[in-house]
Structure 1
Amino acid sequence: MFYSKAWTKCLICLIFLTSGNAECPKPQVEGNVVLTTDALLMNDFPEGGEATFECANGYLKEQGSERITCTSGKWSTLKLTCKKKDCGAPRKMPHLTYEFKEGTLFGASARAICDKGYQLMGPSYRQCYAIGWSGRPRCKVVTCDKPPEIMHGTIIEKPGEELPEYGGVIQYSCNEGYTLIGNKSIECIEDGEYNSLPPECKDVNDILLKPTTISTSSITTTSTVPPTIQDVNDILLKPTTISTSSITTTSTVPPTIQDVNDILLKPTTISTSSITTTSTVPPTIRVSGRNNGIGEHDTNAATEIAAVVGSGIGTVIITLIVLITRYWKRKGSYQFGEDRSRTEELLQFQNN
């Protein structure tokens, strides 16, 4: 009887010791799952005990159980699977769009873009967190400075706002007696500036228009000079074309206004006409033998011409002498040897 009680106590102690050795270690986590808060506070995981898991921040349960069981000192296999949270498209805002290069899942970022004529207020990028998209960007319309006033003119049309917004147009008009120079309207553009400078109003009496030269004419005259001989050394072997003249006429057309660039604000000196005359002196050939590049044939030709001219002059002189001699003979001049007695007879014959 004593021995049976002793054996029972030993068996209970053995079971207790065996059950104590069957405890499981603390569960290890990996991937996108984590232990729950209750599981993290547990220090012992005895045989048959359970541990619970949940999806990490930014992840949602896709399928499987969140619990594992300690059996014979080992944990059962975790079946839980998680996936990234999808933030979806951000809420629409006026004149605002997004660029999604990384998608809309947890951890992705999106770029905020404003329409033309609007400027971004707030962050340029939004990120998908576990609680949704970060930041709240918005787009504000671009405005330009107050439209400038102009001298001798007024603003006849402008937007209702004190500061014109993108696309707003301002129109100008000049007072009576003044002419508008430049664009009559200016527009507020996307960079917050006007597309051009405001116009100017000028007194009509101070405006001088540009004259326009439109046509020219040219007359050319050609003449031929006959060859001349001054001496043996100045011989023209061939007739030569020697002179031309040119007359240029410029006419001015009354000025007209086609655009702003045709207007001069100050008087300008205008040229009226231009006459150009060109003359050419006839060329001569100097003959001085072989040393000047003239051949022997050219020299002989010159000598023959001079001889002919001298012979002609001599013939004329001799002819004149003969004619004068005959004339005086017919008059009975004493210089040519007539008889005195013959003269007296002729006189007596005339008296009878």
Structure 2
Amino acid sequence: MSKTFTHPDLLLTVKGNVLSNHEENLDSSMYEDAKNDGKNLAVNILNKLFNKIEYGKIESDFNTERLNSSNFKNIREQIIKLHFQRETVGTEAIKYSKSLDFLSQELNKTQKSFFRFLFKKKIQRLTYEVEQNRNDLDAIKEVEKESYLNITYEYSSIKLKEKYSDLISAFTTLKGSSKIWDMTYSERNMETKSAAQTSMSRNEVEFSFNSIKGLQTNEKSFQFENFNGGDFYFYPNFVIYFKTKEDIAILDYNDLQLDYSVSRFLEESQDIPADTKIVGETWYRVNKDGSPDKRFVNNYTIPIVEYGSIHLKTESGVNELYYISDIQKANHFSEQYNFYQELLKNS
């Protein structure tokens, strides 16, 4: 297999003082080139293996605003190429897998037939075809397995390496919080008697150690799940916003700001996380002085809790707000992120 395919390798040095330009993005022609290169590379690899694959017209229709930092355009182009390559190879693997299942079932049925002695040639042919399809599928899966971008990181200083290690440690603690929510919507509450001045929509998400498919590195990376958009993948010298293979951006740490604050929340849910701090209570219907409005018979108390708020944003359009049940873990991670970001800027 190494004779037909070699995965790309990149050596990146983690350091600061990299110029960033929000306005310069991977334009549509470069995107199309990367996309088509990925598909064509996969077709060429598969043709070398089997010389019997046909594909129709390649076309796309999209117009997406890009959030990229310009200094990572080459890496983004490589990732786009990689994902379309993997998609093409994966589609072929599915086709061969279905064919193998069909032939295997046909062979099994024929071998168990009461008249199997009449079908010796058919059994012989099916046995050969099953074995051939299995070998072909194994070859395609090997290509799929080797379709990845390998990035090796080197650090310009021991301090940078240590600070990234501190960030990883802080994330390990952060992801262990009982609850993490993606806050997806907020509006002013117009009910004059309601204790909550703002109504917010939230969805529980996960933070985990993860990487986008097909990208391998010698350092750990971690993921912020995003309920209503692309997920964020953090690597030593950039952050990838990945929604689909056609909607991807690479962000410089210098561009991605992380703001931390403590937010008070009226938690009506009976399942308050064990690591959440309860700081008081109020009533569902209240008077201006904070006392319960006795006109409402079924009025009830609502715990007031504190959550750690992590706000990711860029000037180019990133705007994501997360609530963390454990304020200390959220604060510690935010501090380590900003320490690492500052060190990158000044290195």
- After TM superposition, the score normalised by the length of structure 1 is 0.19
Asked which structure has the greater CA Rg, the reply is: 1
Please state which structure has a larger fraction of its residues in strand: 1
Please state which structure has a larger fraction of its residues in helix: 2
